[in-house]
Chains A and B, each alone.
Chain A
Amino acid sequence: GAGVSQTPSNKVTEKGKYVELRCDPISGHTALYWYRQSLGQGPEFLIYFQGTGAADDSGLPNDRFFAVRPEGSVSTLKIQRTERGDSAVYLCASSLSGAVYNEQFFGPGTRLTVL
């Protein structure tokens, strides 16, 4: 597609359940980022992939959060044992390379609600 796509657009789950959020980056972009945006806040960095490997996962809040990018394109963010505090909009971005001067293109986000 022309831009970054994320599915689902909305996800409602119950506390304790497992969820997967998917990101399809722009074709040819080697760098992929996940951010989390809580209500009234700016996006907060979670993890950065360069190709298939996680180059920086310093933003993952705890070991319930995990992300993969097995073929260097699509990425999945996985959250185990969800908690109400995980409710937020999860944003994905991609860029041509990991160089800081390359623009990060953002997807529309997945709104996760944990009941």
Chain B
Amino acid sequence: AQSVTQLGSHVSVSEGALVLLRCNYSSSVPPYLFWYVQYPNQGLQLLLKYTSAATLVKGINGFEAEFKKSETSFHLTKPSAHMSDAAEYFCAVSSVMAGKLIFGQGTTLQVKP
């Protein structure tokens, strides 16, 4: 079985500060990992994905994430937060056999001026 845990349902940072959103996964098979962003009243949008190639994955809007198998983690980071980054962020896991995505409960990112 696969599962995802996102630590911290709400994260607040100042504009220009580092963004760190935490994601830990559980998987009995090699995982594929994803980060999605959901802006208010919009659909989910893919930020980045890990598919067993490079462990450091770069995504859109300056976000990146590092796959750490020993820690079963896939944390999302951005060096400098922008006001426009305020949104809900979801980590998800899948596998080559599954196709479907298993999502975490989400983290709301607030960016303060």
The interface of chain A, by Cβ under 8 A from chain B, is 3-4, 31, 33, 35, 40-45, 48, 55-56, 59, 91, 93, 98-101, 103-104, 106-109
Q: A4-B43, A43-B44, A109-B43 are in contact. Are A103 and B49 (CB under 8 A)?
A: yes
Return 12 A-B CB contacts under 8 Å, by A number. Answer: A40-B9, A40-B105, A41-B105, A42-B104, A43-B44, A56-B99, A91-B44, A100-B32, A100-B95, A100-B99, A101-B32, A108-B41
Query: B49 touching A42 by the CB < 8 A rule?
Result: no
Chain B 92-104 near chain A by CB (<8 Å), digits 1 or 0: 1011101111111
**If A100-B95, A101-B49, A101-B51 touch, does A42 touch B43 (CB 8 Å cutoff)?**
no
- Which positions 47-62 of chain B face chain A at CB distance < 8 Å? 49, 51
Known: A41-B106, A100-B51. 17 other contacts (CB 8 A): A3-B43, A35-B103, A41-B105, A42-B6, A42-B103, A42-B105, A42-B106, A43-B103, A45-B101, A55-B99, A91-B43, A98-B99, A103-B49, A104-B101, A106-B43, A106-B45, A108-B43
